[in-house]
Structure 1
């Protein structure tokens, strides 16, 4: 499942992804911004197509020492991921949003798969820090805002979190904000985004403080956001779908093979470009054509990043469907095949696995559709009801959270027992 990013002030990786140019030349010469180009040379395209998952797993997430070990100095703007290290490089060319010292603004955070409960922290670099010559360390930061659980709100084509942040008074020059979005779950998944800002004066007296937990209020007057750089033109040869209109749907960023990480899963991400207004869906199916995960977004003549989660080795099919939003034309479909390797790096031989004998359940008399885990891969978000081994019934959550129902990992998603079962299921 995809997760999210800082939309205002905009995060580094979002500026770079929106500007594009990273598919046009292997040496990065197609990337206009020098900071983004240096990031590309350091760690490639992964950090751009994965703009929504600058994340680290910290089970002991209330212990800042544990957080700092997982997200070490020099990789804070990369979410602790060395594969995204380019976003943490020093540069005088990171794109900045103009703000006023002492002002209270509404931070806007896109949630492509919003996670609650969770909490928020916003840090700012201390006076004297120079992003042109130094990477950010924890000792360079001071906490300026903390908020508890906030519910997302629909705004336009997506869901967003909104909360108030008051900038320190008397600041001048440049600074960087670090937003931490931390899930309250056993895995301790937390997201880290860096947004570079420039102080252009001071707010009037009475800038105010931030209170405690903020309940989102109606949207403030929109704050001007830098206009995105026009999308680059891609040759048709860069998208290799098995069928579908190449002029309608272009797909970038997929690899032929992926490897499970030490947590036992891997995110498969792609950037999708359309020439008109479409709802685009990405569906991951295993070799038996069972749906394992899905992600979707509405795109208006542009691009979006989609991502799905694989949790075991094997061969998978990715299906991309673009459905017109304004016409009755038939959807355009493209498919890709990818392999997921185990942590050993060896391609799986796909042995036939004998199913674990299921416990005996009484006749369901129409109360449920399956006795979990029977039927995994066929569960329908917002509809399917299963019987758990505790004798209780559970309904798959509505889309997009319902995508977790089909993840074949009892440790995490078995109804009533998995460490994250409430992300996928509603107990009836």
Structure 2
């Protein structure tokens, strides 16, 4: 399919979403800083998603838009229900960024291995979670990949992650700021955040690509 034809397909999908009122997405939430993969794609390209320059300037987002535009328009819907805290049992290795291909595989492109845009961060940084629907949290857990993991060539597994921060019950608020220390990590990593919402058994999973600079 040509770039022009692909752009027309994406435009048609966006128009359909506008008709149904699903653009922009409403409810739920996401990690906004460092941005999750699908939130970052929406942030950078949501107002310019027909631009063929995305294919060369941001190829990981390009493949994600081609795979399922709804993964970006619904940037706040990457969750599973009724996990009962058994995150590792429910979500297989290699599918952590899509929450085990949740929502009928809508977010599967988030698991694609490659050079996702990474936010430069110092080792002491914060994870910001936008709670758009004011669900509150039973807990937040922030993991970072171990030193030596290469997100450009390796699929993410649970054994690649180390729990670095956990925050307990948090009342509903639009933005939760979680202080994180990355230890002696350097270079490229994935920050993996689990947000267990309080309003029901609803678990959110966010892959954020970072580059530790100091």
TM-score category, normalised to shorter length: 0.7 to 0.9
| 1:285-300 → structure 2 map (5 Å cutoff) | none
**Cα distance change of structure 1 residues 160 and 38 upon mapping to structure 2, 3 Å threshold:** same
User: Do 2:143 and 2:165's aligned partners in 1 also have CA atoms closer than 8 Å?
Assistant: yes
Q: Is structure 2 residue 183 aligned with structure 1 residue 183?
A: no
**Cα distance change of structure 1 residues 59 and 100 upon mapping to structure 2, 3 Å threshold:** closer
Alignment-derived partner of residue 147 in structure 2: 127
Quote how far apart the aligned CAs of 1:55 are: 0.3
Q: Is structure 2 residue 31 aligned with structure 1 residue 6?
A: yes
The runs of 4+ residues in structure 1 deviating greater than 3 Å are 28-32
**Cα distance change of structure 1 residues 184 and 59 upon mapping to structure 2, 3 Å threshold:** farther
Distance across 2 between alignment mates of 1:125 and 1:107: 15
Structure 1: 5+ residue runs without aligned partners? Answer: 154-158, 202-428
Q: Is structure 2 residue 169 aligned with structure 1 residue 149?
A: yes
Q: Higher strand proportion, which one?
A: 1
| 1:134-173 → structure 2 map (5 Å cutoff) | 134-153=154-173, 159-168=174-183, 170-173=184-187
Quote how far apart the aligned CAs of 1:174 are: 0.8
Q: Higher helix proportion, which one?
A: 2
1:89 aligned residue (103, 109, 112): 112
User: Do 1:58 and 1:67's aligned partners in 2 also have CA atoms closer than 8 Å?
Assistant: no
What secondary structure, in the 3-state scheme, does the structure 2 residue paired with 1:177 have?
Answer: strand
Q: Give the number of the structure with larger relative contact order, counting CA–CA contacts within 8 Å between residues 6 or more apart.
A: 2
What secondary structure, in the 3-state scheme, does the structure 2 residue paired with 1:130 have?
Answer: coil
| RMSD of aligned Cα (Å) | 2.1
Alignment-derived partner of residue 78 in structure 2: 54
Quote how far apart the aligned CAs of 1:58 are: 3.0
Q: Is structure 2 residue 113 aligned with structure 1 residue 113?
A: no
What secondary structure, in the 3-state scheme, does the structure 1 residue paired with 2:149 have?
Answer: coil
Q: Is structure 2 residue 44 aligned with structure 1 residue 44?
A: no
What secondary structure, in the 3-state scheme, does the structure 2 residue paired with 1:52 have?
Answer: coil
Quote how far apart the aligned CAs of 1:14 are: 1.4
Distance across 1 between alignment mates of 2:172 and 2:135: 9
Alignment-derived partner of residue 122 in structure 2: 100
Alignment-derived partner of residue 280 in structure 1: none
Aligned length: 184
Alignment-derived partner of residue 362 in structure 1: none
Quote how far apart the aligned CAs of 1:183 are: 2.2
CA offsets 1:221-247 (integer angstroms, 9 cap, x no match): xxxxxxxxxxxxxxxxxxxxxxxxxxx
| 1:168-317 → structure 2 map (5 Å cutoff) | 168=183, 170-184=184-198, 188-201=201-214
Q: Is structure 2 residue 43 aligned with structure 1 residue 18?
A: yes
What secondary structure, in the 3-state scheme, does the structure 1 residue paired with 2:136 have?
Answer: coil
Distance across 2 between alignment mates of 1:13 and 1:198: 18
Distance across 1 between alignment mates of 2:30 and 2:39: 8
Distance across 2 between alignment mates of 1:67 and 1:97: 26
Distance across 2 between alignment mates of 1:138 and 1:3: 25
Distance across 2 between alignment mates of 1:30 and 1:161: 31
What secondary structure, in the 3-state scheme, does the structure 2 residue paired with 1:13 have?
Answer: helix
Structure 2: 5+ residue runs without aligned partners? Answer: 1-25
User: Do 1:57 and 1:70's aligned partners in 2 also have CA atoms closer than 8 Å?
Assistant: no
**Cα distance change of structure 1 residues 199 and 23 upon mapping to structure 2, 3 Å threshold:** closer
What secondary structure, in the 3-state scheme, does the structure 2 residue paired with 1:2 have?
Answer: coil
